[in-house]
C-alpha cells in the first residue's frame, strides 16, 4: 500500500501493483499412475529475495473440502510432509533465488487428483495471490488415446470424465493424438510423446 497525495485533494490509500508479489503456475498438469509430475511454480517480487522468503504448497482433493499442507520452505530449509498421503513422494526442486518454487510429486495415484496451491511470501513483499494448478491422474496408456480435448481421468479407480473437461481457451490448438505420435502440449512449450506404455 502507498499513500498518494494530489494537490488540492485529501490523501488516499492506493495499491501499487509493482509492490505485490505475483505467483504463477500452469492451470493444469496431467500424469499417469506410478509416474511423476513437476508442479512448476515461479514468482515475481518487487523486493530482493530475503532470507525470510517462505513457500507453501497445499493440496485439496477433488473429493474433499479439506486442504492439507504438503510442503513448506522457510529460513532456507525445505520441510516435506513426513506423514499423510504424500509421505516420501514430494521432492523440492525449486530455488528461491531464481524465483522458482517448484516441487515434484512421485508415484502418482488416483487420490492425487485435485488442486495444488503454491503460495510465496518475501517479506516485506507479502501482498499477493497464491496460484493454483489442477492435477489429473490417468491410467497408464490412457493418456493420449481418443480426443486430447476430452480425456477421462480415473478417479478412485473408476473411469469418469473430469467436470467441464472440454478445454475452451483462446490461442490454443488441440488435436487427437494416438500412441507414438509426437505433439505439442497445450501450453506450446515442448514436444511430448503421448500414450506410450
CA atoms within 13 A on the CB side of 27: 7
Q: Print pLDDT tens along the chain (197 aa).
A: 443 434 444 443 334 444 589 999 999 999 999 999 999 999 999 899 999 999 999 999 998 999 999 999 999 999 998 888 999 999 999 999 999 999 999 999 999 999 999 999 999 988 889 999 999 999 987 665 543 434 444 444 444 344 433 333 344 433 333 333 333 344 433 333 333 23
Is the pTM of the predicted complex or chain greater than 0.95?
A: no
Question: What's the CATH superfamily of 19-193?
Answer: Immunoglobulins (2.60.40.10)
Which residue, 106, 85, 103, is CA-closest to 94?
103
Name residue, grid cell 493440496.
59
Please give the Cα distance from 108 to 82 (Å, whole number): 17
Amino acid at each position: 500500500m502507498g499513500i498518494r497525495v494530489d494537490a488540492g485533494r485529501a490523501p488516499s490509500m492506493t495499491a501499487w501493483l509493482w509492490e505485490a508479489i505475483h505467483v504463477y503456475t500452469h492451470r493444469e498438469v496431467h500424469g499417469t499412475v506410478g509416474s511423476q509430475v513437476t508442479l512448476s511454480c515461479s514468482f515475481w517480487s518487487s523486493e530482493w529475495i530475503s532470507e525470510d522468503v517462505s513457500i507453501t504448497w497445499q493440496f485439496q482433493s477433488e473429493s474433499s473440502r479439506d486442504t492439507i499442507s504438503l510442503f513448506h520452505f522457510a529460513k532456507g530449509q525445505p520441510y516435506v510432509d513426513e506423514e499423510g498421503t504424500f509421505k516420501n513422494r514430494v521432492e523440492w526442486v525449486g530455488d528461491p533465488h531464481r524465483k522458482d518454487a517448484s516441487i515434484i510429486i512421485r508415484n502418482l495415484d488416483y487420490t492425487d487428483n485435485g488442486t495444488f496451491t503454491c503460495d510465496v511470501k518475501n517479506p516485506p513483499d507479502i501482498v499477493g495471490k497464491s496460484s493454483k494448478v489442477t492435477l489429473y491422474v490417468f491410467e497408464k496408456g490412457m493418456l493420449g488415446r481418443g480426443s486430447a480435448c476430452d480425456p477421462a481421468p480415473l478417479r478412485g479407480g473408476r473411469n469418469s470424465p473430469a467436470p467441464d473437461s472440454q478445454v475452451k481457451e483462446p490461442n490454443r490448438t488441440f488435436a487427437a493424438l494416438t500412441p507414438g505420435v509426437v505433439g505439442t502440449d497445450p501450453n506450446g512449450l515442448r514436444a511430448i510423446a503421448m500414450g506410450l506404455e
